[in-house]
A and B are shown apart, each in its own frame.
Chain A
Amino acid sequence: MKHPGMTEIVRNTARLITGFIALFGIYIAATGHLSPGGGFAGGVILAAAGVLVVLAFGRTVVTAQLTEDRCHVWDAAGALGFLAIALLGFLAGGFFINFINVLVGKDKITVSLHKLMSGGTVPLANLAILVKVGAALLGAFLALSAFRSVSSRPENKP
């Protein structure tokens, strides 16, 4: 079973729009503190871009570059990033305190209210969650699609 990809039309379309899907996912996660969305939805959209590439080009072509181990590494990196943001809160008094807001000063929090760089650690936490959820779901999909049934191996066929 060779996991072939799909036809030429699907492959060309995937080449054109996968970048846009991934960019859309990152946009939804990065502006989660200004408009609806957030890190979780962005992570699932990013994983969906990866799933599109795997389905369109075939698993053997894709896993030459995007192995499952790399997904494990990015997954752990996202989780450690989130923990790092939590532990850095000790700079400002306690666990998970929004230390950027405290360091900037109480009266300067709302200066940049609707701009991208506002909210202290909230956009940073959104990006950590994006990396974590996206890598975890893509790794789960790769593990599910790697499963070749015992009865369809060539030496087991009658």
Chain B
Amino acid sequence: MSNAIYLLTFLLLLVGVYAVVAKKNVIKIIIGLLIIDYAVNMLLVLVGYRRGGVAPILEPLGEDQTLEAASADLAARAVDPLPQAMVLTSIVIGLGLTALMVAMAIRLYEKYKTFDMNEIRKLRG
């Protein structure tokens, strides 16, 4: 089961690479880059998962619970927080990348009146 999950994630990565390499439309290339981004983020979060684990947030303390006991209990039961922190920054950087690529696509359409890479490559603008 775990092998199936990782293999499917690599399959999603390859689908994204196929879209970047083999497609001739600028919007399809942007979609391929976004799919690669999703696949890599998902792989990072999957590595940190613990079976039956909880989210790494400390609950409010009970009646007679000390802070050390609650923290040690969290460390024994929670999923790994470090990949989550890194993926959080990666998601928002992906949004900035999307904005920049969309700006480039709009300028390309403005100059060459088409999204087709075969036409643009002839440099007739």
- Write the residues of chain A forming the contact surface with B, with a CB cutoff of 8 angstroms: 35-36, 38, 40, 44, 110, 113-114, 133, 136-137, 140, 143-144, 147, 149-151
* Residue B103 is within 8 A (CB to CB) of chain A in the complex: yes
Interface positions of B from 54 to 110, Cβ below 8 Å from A: 55, 57-58, 60-61, 67, 88-89, 91-92, 95-96, 99, 102-103, 106, 110
Are the CB atoms of B95 and A38 closer together than 8 Å?
A: no
Interface contacts (Cβ under 8 Å), in number, total 30
A-side contacts of B99, CB under 8 Å: 137, 140, 144
Q: Contacts A36-B57, A38-B88, A114-B60; is A144 near B103 (CB within 8 Å)? A: yes
When the two chains form the complex, which single residue of A38, A40, A149 contacts B110, counting CB atoms closer than 8 Å? A149
**Closest chain B residue to A35, Cβ basis:** B57
Are the CB atoms of A44 and B110 closer together than 8 Å?
A: no
Are the CB atoms of A40 and B67 closer together than 8 Å?
A: no
When the two chains form the complex, which single residue of A36, A137, A144 contacts B95, counting CB atoms closer than 8 Å? A137
Are the CB atoms of A44 and B95 closer together than 8 Å?
A: yes
Kindly name the residue among B57, B61, B95, B96 whose own CB sees the greatest number of chain A CB atoms within 10 A: B95
Interface positions of B from 36 to 56, Cβ below 8 Å from A: 55
Are the CB atoms of A133 and B92 closer together than 8 Å?
A: yes
**Closest chain A residue to B107, Cβ basis:** A147
**Closest chain A residue to B102, Cβ basis:** A144
- Complexed CA–CA distance, A136 and B92 (Å): 12
A-side contacts of B95, CB under 8 Å: 44, 137
